[in-house]
Amino acid sequence: MSRVYLLINDPLVAGRMRGVIDSAAGLKTVGWATTLEQARAQLPTLAADVVLADLQLADGWVADFVDELANSGRYGWPKTLLATLSLDDSQLLNALARGADGYFVQGLSPNMLIATVEQVLAGGAEMAPVIARQVKAHFDASAWTVKEPLDDDNPLHPDRIERQVLQWICDGFLPHEIARDLRISTREVAQRVRTLYRKLHLDRRTASLSLQLL
């Protein structure tokens, strides 16, 4: 049974989410908070597998807390799923760069909420074209580096696949279309998206450490 913790401002929204999650096979909610302070106090004892959080709480932006969840170990390494009203919110990309595992657009169907939670638990993530273009712009600006040279005769090189997945998402292709053209599963497409978020996070951490050493 996977355990979901809600960090949601609106009690009505939190109640609806709790009902949806608790009615799904293999999932249950283990707590709810409206502030970062409450979450910091409660989470260490709850063994949550996923934290589903609003981008902004009464006492601050969730991005700072995402950093703690991703790096401190104090909370047991839960995955972080961001609840957002708009994909154009600049704080969404900021939180993804700080270590969040994915996002859910509020207002979509209950089935989509469950599918998104299950996808994050399985190591995958969604990426809309508007997010993909921002991620690609980041990598283009940082001259996307790889640990080993790309082999032109190896189209299945992981970095090559990730670049292609990112480009096709930017162009508006759907996951099943990308999977078909790359001859991989839609689950692997979702996992490649999660890897792109992870690389975005690592790039940010590396840049932060470099600034601290100056």
Q: In sequence order, what are the beta bridge partners of 54?
A: 83
Q: Which residues contact 160 (CB under 8 A, 6 or more apart)?
A: 150, 154
Quote the Cα angle for 131-137-138, to 5°. 95
SS3 state at 56:
strand
CA 91 distance to own-chain centroid? 13
pLDDT above 70 covers a percentage of the chain that reads 88
Q: pLDDT of 16-64, one tens digit each? A: 999 999 999 999 999 999 999 999 999 999 999 999 999 999 999 999 8
Which stretches of 106-183 are assigned E, i.e. beta strand?
none
Q: pLDDT of 100-144, one tens digit each? A: 999 999 988 999 999 999 999 999 999 999 999 999 998 888 765
Among 3, 12, 102, 11, smallest CA distance to 43 is for 3
pLDDT at 148: 44
Mean pLDDT of the chain: 89
CA 32 distance to own-chain centroid? 20
Q: Does domain 2-121 have CATH number 3.30.465.10?
A: no
Q: Is the pLDDT at 150 greater than 80, yes or no?
A: no
pLDDT at 204: 74
Pick the CATH number of 129-213 from 1.10.1740, 1.10.10, 1.10.3470, 1.25.40: 1.10.10
Burial of 41 (0-12, 13-18, 19+ CB in 10 A): exposed
Pairing of strands 50-54, 2-7: parallel
pLDDT at 15: 97
Give the Cβ contact number of residue 132 at 10 Å: 21
pLDDT at 212: 45
Q: What does the domain layout of the chain look like in residue ranges?
A: 2-121, 129-213
